[in-house]
Amino acid sequence: MPLIEFSDKGLYCRQGNFYIDPWKPVDKAVITHAHSDHARWGSKYYLCHHLTKPLLQLRLGDNLYESVDWNEPVFINGVKVSLHPAGHIIGSAQIRVEYEGEVWVASGDYKTEDDGISGAFEPVPCNTFITESTFGLPIYKWKKQLDIFEDIKNWVAQNKENKKTSVLIAYSLGKAQRVLMPLSEMGLPVYVHGAVWNVHQALVNSGWKLPEVTRVQPDTPKEDLVGNIVIAPPSADGTPWMKKFYPYSVGTCSGWMQVRGNARRRNTDAGFALSDHADWYGLLQAVKATGAQKVYATHGFQSAFSRFLNEQGIEAGEVKTEYGGEEEESKAAEETEEIIMDNG
Amino acid sequence: MGESLLGNEGITMKQFAKLVNILGTSTKTNDKLQALQDYFEVAADQDKVWVIAIFSGRRPKRIINSTILAGWCLEIAAIEPWLFDECYHTVGDLGETIALLLPEQETQNETGNEHTLSYYLQTFIRIEKETEQVKKDFITSSWQQMDRNEKFVFNKLITGGFRIGVSQTMMVNALAKTVKVSSSIIAHRISGNWDPATTSFDDLLSETVAATDFSKPYPFYLAYAVDEDLDKLGEEDLWQAEWKWDGIRGQIIKRNKDFFVWSRGEELMTEKFPEYNHFKDQLPDGTVIDGEIISLGAPAEDGVFKPLPFAALQTRIGRKTITKKQLTEAPVGFIAYDILEFEGEDIRYKSMEERRQLLEQVIAKTNYPALHISPVISFNTWEELGVTRTKSRDMGSEGIMIKRKSSPYQSGRKRGDWWKWKIDPLTIDAVMIYAQKGHGRRSNLYTDYTFAVKDGDKLVPFTKAYSGLTDKEFAQVDSFVKRNSIEKFGPVRTVKPELVFEIAFEGIAASNRHKSGVALRFPRMSRWRTDKKADEINTLEDLKEMLKIYNQQGVVEATDL
């Protein structure tokens, strides 16, 4: 019996009778991070990191939550469970599961470059590693975060010169906070969409020191926005909500922007390949650092990535899960509701 | 953009790559126009000439094929061919895939690469006949000096098909603003037969040179599809109606005893249609005629012409040498629509009525049986014309053209004077069985589908289609494909036969190259039939029935004239 099984509800540990990031309601859920394709509604009990708890409360409402610190073991029916930084977004964790000397790690989403707010990815030695592979092709090789921030700042500066508002499209949870840091160094007012505002407030209330932002309101004067910065989630892109900012230029922050066709499809003016996922080299580095004898790749380019690992002598298989894949779309859907609330 | 280009002495490949980047990603025409103008302001003349050449489809010959080029990339990036293929099918562009896979230089700095666009293009020409090793040395060492953006553009120059979201019209407009000459004059000057390697910027845009290039065609005047209500066009009397023929729009030019045939794509096709030699001497010097290059059935002794399906003409284009068999099986004629130059004078400013008279006069002096004047359809009311239009398919035509009698011959696609009124397409309901990822803005999205009809309890693939759905629908189908694929053959996924689409097409012809025995003209998805199940689709029998009805050659009585 494998320590973790791939069931139709999610990753299942039979010995401990708990699920990791289940996509259907279960009795016990261990959550890697607060994005909606991983943290779903309806379970009776959620175990997560301290930093994730307020975000789950924001998104899933009141439930039975238990939170732990990094590497603080919890024993569930003899199974030792601990959380380790994944570097994806604030509070994101890899889940380490140990029973009778055998160790499995489920990565959740992760990136290997330290972004300064999400915690530095920690390689966790294990026998079996379940890894994401959203960007599991060698065409995905990210530029350094600082270089991308430089590109974004130049773009903002040029828009300001042309008297245009810079509308940056970034997920309300994760990317928005990540770009906020360098943007705040420019000394320009930063306005945010309601969905970004809600996350921002939840983080500030739980003790995060984040640069100041202003929520875009129906009565925000147009003159205040000209040449300044607006951060909005993908679901706001192309909606009437944007009209207020005219004339504006849209910049999209997403790993998918690495390929020109994607940027063109989104009709974005500027694409910044800034991702909260590991690139091909990050994935390989992470897999090797675990020393795992067996790897399961899921979500994204799992078939190419696992084939490559096999050719490298690392036994690997692919697993179908309901995480991501069309990650952008699923997160957009979640944020649509927030927008409706915001517009209403 | 402005600040990075201006004040820079030498305009290098880096600036051109930046220009291409803006043109490729900007969503606003004005921004693109401005970027082009900025570039033209500061670029060296020779670079400008090359930019004009590239954006009007005059690239140097391809010096190496894509497979070899990809092979060099594999070698440098040290990856397996299958992984390269995975990447290519995700990116949807070979030049870009290579640019993304090649290692980035560690010491990339602003002054890294001093070479100009002309340098690269001229080197392509210089080494065209050299050994593969010489080419490899040049290309791989060039890669080493470039950033990712430059590599992409460089690769596009090598692999061809420089379609990056800038139309020739836009380039013409930018140029017109830069040199302060009207855009219709510019359009004419840069059309025709010129070699960027030997033409200077001044020569290209100067009046005198234009006058001595006898091959130069005029820009084509193109029609928009008519809006719903024909009554808005006003009095029927003011308009002339003709059939819309389904061949290749072309211009035939007789000047200085020389004869040229141009396609609308500005390709010189004189050699492809030896039939035209029979009447070229009957045309007076200083004559330019606009019309349709089209395959016509047996020469008409009784004054009848019969267009063959477009598939017949297809056997004639894209071939270097034409066999006797092709000449007899798919003879090509010409249907004249308009006359643009008469007795050496540009008469595009005259009314269509006047031009038509001159055209009739010129054609009357010829006696080649496959050279026709486009018949005028007589009608009294728009309603009557609508009834005539329903017979288009029997005529072998794809609808009706409506032209204002007083209209001058304009350049490009313009509203107001010329309209096309196409017939409704043929349609058939089919189920999607294979899917493949698209190119360009559809990269990494399953948008290229193969469809099947029923034959008993089997499914027979009969066409591919790529267009007709909204972005949202494509995203939904893409997600269906990802969840319901059965098997993977290279880039192609077989998909659970579940989604039904109405496929619209303009024509149908017998084909022995397809399993189904038919080939469709312009197939596209006209509707996603979410109301239909896979067992409610049309059958192979239905397709064959359509073939029987519509594959017949059209027949036009010359007495209609």
What does B172-221 look like in DSSP terms, one character per residue?
HHHHHHHHT--HHHHHHHHSSS--TTT--HHHHH-HHHHHH-TTPPPPPE
Q: How far is A267 from chain B (nearest CA, A)?
A: 6
Count of H helices and E strands in chain B?
22, 24
Q: Do A261 and B77 touch (CB under 8 A)?
A: no
DSSP string, B116-173: -HHHHHHHHHHTTTS-HHHHHHHHHHHHHT--HHHHHHHHHHHH----SS--HHHHHH
With an 8 Å Cβ cutoff, is A235 touching chain B? no
Contact between B261 and B269 under an 8 Å Cβ cutoff? The reply is yes
- Residue B152: give its domain's CATH number: 1.10.3260.10
| B560 vs B96: which has the higher pLDDT | B96
Domain boundary among B121, B143, B159: B159
pLDDT at B65: 92
Asked, for residue B192, whether it belongs to a domain, the answer is no
Q: CA of A155: how far to CAs of A149, A228, A242, A249, B39, in Å?
A: 10, 12, 19, 9, 19
Average pLDDT, chain B: 86
Residues B430 and B418 in one domain: no
pLDDT at B212: 62
Closest CA to B379 of B408, B400, B362: B400
pLDDT at A336: 40
Asked, for residue B191, whether it belongs to a domain, the answer is no
Residues B155 and B296 in one domain: no
DSSP string, B118-129: HHHHHHHHHTTT
pLDDT at B561: 32
pLDDT at B176: 86
| B304 vs A108: which has the higher pLDDT | A108
Asked, for residue B367, whether it belongs to a domain, the answer is yes
Among B7-21, B405-419, B534-548, where is mean pLDDT lowest? B7-21
Asked, for residue B182, whether it belongs to a domain, the answer is no
pLDDT at A297: 95
- Classify the phi-psi angles of A239: left when phi > 0, otherwise alpha if psi is within -120 to 50, otherwise beta: beta
Residue A265: list chain B partners with CB under 8 A: 441-443, 445, 471
The Cα–Cα gap between A136 and A300 comes to 7
The Cα–Cα gap between B239 and B353 comes to 10
CA B121 to centroid of chain Cα atoms: 24
Q: Which residues of A, range 66-125, sit inside 8 Å of B by Cβ? A: none
pLDDT at B106: 63
pLDDT at B5: 40
Q: CA of A198: how far to CAs of A54, A191, A205, in Å?
A: 11, 13, 11
Q: How far is B211 from chain A (nearest CA, A)?
A: 41
Bond before A247 cis per omega within 30 degrees: yes
Question: Dihedral, CA atoms, A181, A203, A10, A334, nearest 10 degrees?
Answer: -80
Q: Do B24 and A304 touch (CB under 8 A)?
A: no
pLDDT at A330: 39
Domain count of the fold of chain B: 3
Residues paired with B539 in a beta bridge:
B454
pLDDT at B268: 75
Chain B residue with CA closest to A143: the answer is B104
Residues B48 and B100 in one domain: yes
Q: Do A139 and B87 touch (CB under 8 A)?
A: yes
- Is it the case that residue B559 has pLDDT exceeding 60? no
Residue A326: list chain B partners with CB under 8 A: 475, 478-479, 482
Q: Do B488 and A329 touch (CB under 8 A)?
A: no
Q: Dmax of chain B from CA atoms?
A: 76
| Chain length of chain B | 561
Residue B445: list chain A partners with CB under 8 A: 265
pLDDT at B554: 41
Q: What are phi and psi of B487, to 5 degrees?
A: -140, 165
Q: Which string of b and e fits A177-191 if b means at least 16 CB within 10 Å?
A: bbbbebbbebebebb
Domain boundary among B395, B422, B449: B422
pLDDT band at B215 (very low <50, low <70, confident <90, very high): confident
ipTM field: 0.91
CATH 2.60.120.10 fits A145-272, yes or no: no
pLDDT at A338: 42
Mutate to test the interface with A, among B74, B443, B486 (most CBs of A within 10 A): B443
Chain A residue with CA closest to B97: the answer is A139
Residue-level pLDDT, tens digit, chain A, 344 residues: 899 999 999 999 999 999 999 999 999 999 999 998 899 999 999 999 999 999 999 999 999 999 999 999 999 999 999 999 999 999 999 999 999 999 999 999 999 999 999 999 999 999 999 999 999 999 999 999 999 999 999 999 999 998 999 999 999 999 999 999 999 999 999 999 999 999 999 999 999 999 999 999 988 998 889 999 999 999 898 889 998 898 999 999 999 999 988 887 877 889 999 999 999 999 999 999 999 999 999 988 999 999 999 999 999 998 877 776 434 433 443 444 343 333 32
With an 8 Å Cβ cutoff, is A259 touching chain B? yes
Closest CA to B485 of B477, B494, B476: B494
Residue A234: list chain B partners with CB under 8 A: none
Q: Taking CB atoms and an 8 Å cut-off, how many pairs form between chains A and B?
A: 81
Residues B416 and B430 in one domain: no
Residue B444: list chain A partners with CB under 8 A: 256, 259, 261-262
Q: Do B104 and A141 touch (CB under 8 A)?
A: yes
- Is it the case that residue B511 has pLDDT exceeding 90? no
Q: Do B25 and A303 touch (CB under 8 A)?
A: no
Chain B residue with CA closest to A280: the answer is B101
pLDDT at B560: 31
Contact between A83 and A72 under an 8 Å Cβ cutoff? The reply is yes
What value does the mean pLDDT take over residues B221-237? 86
Question: How big, in percent rounded to 5, are the helix, strand and coil portions of chain A?
Answer: 30, 25, 45
With an 8 Å Cβ cutoff, is A301 touching chain B? yes
Give the three-class secondary structure for B406.
Answer: coil
What value does the mean pLDDT take over residues B403-421? 92
* Residues 6+ away with beta carbon under 8 Å from B155: B69, B94, B95, B96, B98, B99
Q: Do A261 and B97 touch (CB under 8 A)?
A: no
Asked, for residue B559, whether it belongs to a domain, the answer is no
Q: Which two tokens stand for residue B135?
A: 């080419």
Q: How far is B442 from chain A (nearest CA, A)?
A: 6
Q: CA of B334: how far to CAs of B278, B315, B551, in Å?
A: 12, 17, 21
With an 8 Å Cβ cutoff, is A154 touching chain B? no
pLDDT at A45: 97
Q: Which two tokens stand for residue A96?
A: 């380490």
Mutate to test the interface with A, among B100, B163, B471 (most CBs of A within 10 A): B100
- Is it the case that residue B98 has pLDDT exceeding 90? yes
pLDDT at B109: 52
Residues B245 and B359 in one domain: yes
With an 8 Å Cβ cutoff, is A189 touching chain B? no
pLDDT at B486: 84
Give the three-class secondary structure for A80.
Answer: strand
- Is it the case that residue B14 has pLDDT exceeding 50? yes
pLDDT at B177: 87
Q: Do A259 and B80 touch (CB under 8 A)?
A: no
Report the run of H or E that residue A263 belongs to, with start and end. Answer: helix A260-265
Among A13-27, B40-54, B118-132, B319-333, where is mean pLDDT lowest? B319-333
Among A13-27, A267-281, B119-133, B183-197, where is mean pLDDT lowest? B183-197
Strand arrangement of the beta sheet that strand A128-133 belongs to = A74-76, A79-85, A93-99, A102-106, A128-133, A294-300, A315-319
- Classify the phi-psi angles of B358: left when phi > 0, otherwise alpha if psi is within -120 to 50, otherwise beta: alpha
What value does the mean pLDDT take over residues B364-388? 91
pLDDT at B112: 64
Residues B238 and B292 in one domain: yes
With an 8 Å Cβ cutoff, is A258 touching chain B? yes
With an 8 Å Cβ cutoff, is A151 touching chain B? no
Asked, for residue B208, whether it belongs to a domain, the answer is no
Which pairs from B41-46 meet CB under 8 Å and 24+ separation? Answer: B41/B5, B41/B6, B41/B178, B42/B5, B42/B6, B42/B8, B42/B11, B43/B11, B43/B15, B44/B10, B44/B11, B44/B116, B44/B118, B45/B200, B45/B201, B45/B202, B46/B116, B46/B118, B46/B200, B46/B201
Residue B80: list chain A partners with CB under 8 A: 311
Closest CA to B179 of B287, B45, B79, B281: B45
Q: What are phi and psi of B489, to 5 degrees?
A: -115, 100
Structural domain that includes position B25: 2-159
Q: Which two tokens stand for residue B457?
A: 């309890």
Chain A residue with CA closest to B81: the answer is A308
Say how many C-beta atoms besides its own lie within 10 A of residue A255's C-beta. Answer: 22
Ranges of each domain in chain A: 5-139+276-326, 145-272
Q: What is the DSSP letter of A78?
A: T
With an 8 Å Cβ cutoff, is A44 touching chain B? no
pLDDT at A190: 96
Asked, for residue B206, whether it belongs to a domain, the answer is no
What value does the mean pLDDT take over residues B533-539? 91
pLDDT at B321: 73
Residues B254 and B388 in one domain: yes
| B214 vs A174: which has the higher pLDDT | A174
Question: Dihedral, CA atoms, B4, B7, B11, B17, nearest 10 degrees?
Answer: 10
Domain boundary among B422, B440, B455: B422
Residues B268 and B394 in one domain: yes
Q: Give me the helix-helix angle, B66-77 and B132-144, nearest 10°.
A: 50
- Is it the case that residue B4 has pLDDT exceeding 50? no
Measure CA of the first residue to CA of the last residue in chain B; give whole Å.
57
Contact between A248 and A227 under an 8 Å Cβ cutoff? The reply is no
Q: CA of A90: how far to CAs of A61, A204, B432, in Å?
A: 18, 12, 43
Which pairs from B129-137 meet CB under 8 Å and 24+ separation? Answer: B132/B64, B132/B68, B135/B63, B135/B64, B136/B72
With an 8 Å Cβ cutoff, is A271 touching chain B? yes
Give residue for tokens 């640069």: A211
Q: Do A269 and B96 touch (CB under 8 A)?
A: no
Q: Do A259 and B442 touch (CB under 8 A)?
A: no
- Residue B371: give its domain's CATH number: 3.30.470.30
Residues B453 and B514 in one domain: yes
| B245 vs B487: which has the higher pLDDT | B245
Q: What are phi and psi of A307, to 5 degrees?
A: -60, -40
pLDDT at B234: 87
Closest CA to B157 of B102, B95, B89, B98: B95
Residues B67 and B135 in one domain: yes
- Is it the case that residue B186 has pLDDT exceeding 70? yes
- Residue B443: give its domain's CATH number: 2.40.50.140
Q: What is the DSSP letter of A9?
A: T
Count of H helices and E strands in chain A?
9, 19
With an 8 Å Cβ cutoff, is A141 touching chain B? yes
What value does the mean pLDDT take over residues B211-221? 80
Q: Do A269 and B439 touch (CB under 8 A)?
A: no
Q: Do B97 and A139 touch (CB under 8 A)?
A: yes
Contact between A146 and A185 under an 8 Å Cβ cutoff? The reply is no
Residues B445 and B463 in one domain: yes
pLDDT at B263: 87
- Is it the case that residue B211 has pLDDT exceeding 80? no
The Cα–Cα gap between B546 and B509 comes to 9
Residue B92: list chain A partners with CB under 8 A: 259, 261
Per CATH, which fold does A5-139+276-326 belong to? Metallo-beta-lactamase; Chain A (3.60.15)
Residues B274 and B405 in one domain: yes
Contact between B113 and B146 under an 8 Å Cβ cutoff? The reply is yes
Asked, for residue B526, whether it belongs to a domain, the answer is yes
